[in-house]
Copies of this chain bind each other. A is one copy, B any other.
Amino acid sequence: MFKETKARSIIKTFSWRVLATLTTATLVFIFTGELTIAITIGSIEVVAKILLYFFHERLWDKVNIGRKEIKPFVIWFTGLPSSGKTTIANALTKKLLKRAYTLERLYGDKVRQLFPDEGFSKLERDSHIKRVGLLSSILEKNKVIVVASFVSPYIEARDFVRGICQNFIEVYINTPANICEKYDKKGLYKRAKSGLIKNFTGVNDPYQEPKDPEITLSIESLSLDDCVNRVLDYLNQNKFLV
């Protein structure tokens, strides 16, 4: 949220005046050949136009033509653990931040570390996702773009989030469990399979596929760059990026 202070208008006024009066005086001198007239006109111009320019600036501070404001959105990556959500979301975030958007990156670990007691039952997962959804929707309302990546395995909770956001873009990372397991650096799939982790989505806890996501990506057939570009294309086509 920017407002131009009077000080800015004053400094801009002088910066412009130096540039402009030198031009005028030079022109007058070229056409009249008289230095006195050139200097006299230059001097009067300096005073008159400094005042004019300052008020011109103040007036324009009130006018919003050509000040572009972003159309915020919540882009929500869902998919199995280690399906590529976070990697793609991070790469997208990097690209968006380069364009100087106001953006908040939300992901499971970041939120859950604040709530270490919250577990992974359906009830707890849903409450967690809905709370993050509320957070996302209020950020969006305040012109902050949200890039969220959560396993978010249940349709109902995702639809709850969709319902409270203005522009909700669901990105389904459609990676099969056996491929996810290959990318699983922490070995969570193995530990879940051997029973060491309970309620692990994709092994001993369900994942409900999105029925009508805005974007579906598969890291089996697309490179990371391609995935990010697909998302950027969607955002461009839907006029989210100005």
Contacts and interface: CB of A to CB of B under 8 A. Distances in A.
Interface residues of A, number: 58
Assembly stoichiometry (copies): 2
A130 B127 CA distance: 13
Nearest to A3: B68
A185 interface: no
Interface stretch (A15-23, A86-94, A230-238): A15-23
B3 A143 contact: no
Contacts of A134: 111, 114, 135
A65 interface: yes
Contacts of A24: 24, 41, 45
Interface in A77-114: 100-102, 104, 111, 114
Nearest to A134: B114
Interface of A: 1-9, 11-12, 15-16, 19-20, 23-24, 27-28, 31-32, 37, 40-41, 44-45, 48-49, 52-53, 56, 60, 65-70, 100-102, 104, 111, 114-115, 118, 127, 130-131, 134-135, 138-139, 141-144, 164
23 contacts: A1-B1, A1-B101, A2-B68, A2-B69, A3-B100, A7-B66, A9-B66, A12-B56, A16-B53, A19-B52, A20-B49, A23-B45, A27-B44, A28-B28, A32-B32, A102-B142, A104-B141, A111-B134, A114-B164, A115-B127, A139-B139, A139-B142, A144-B144
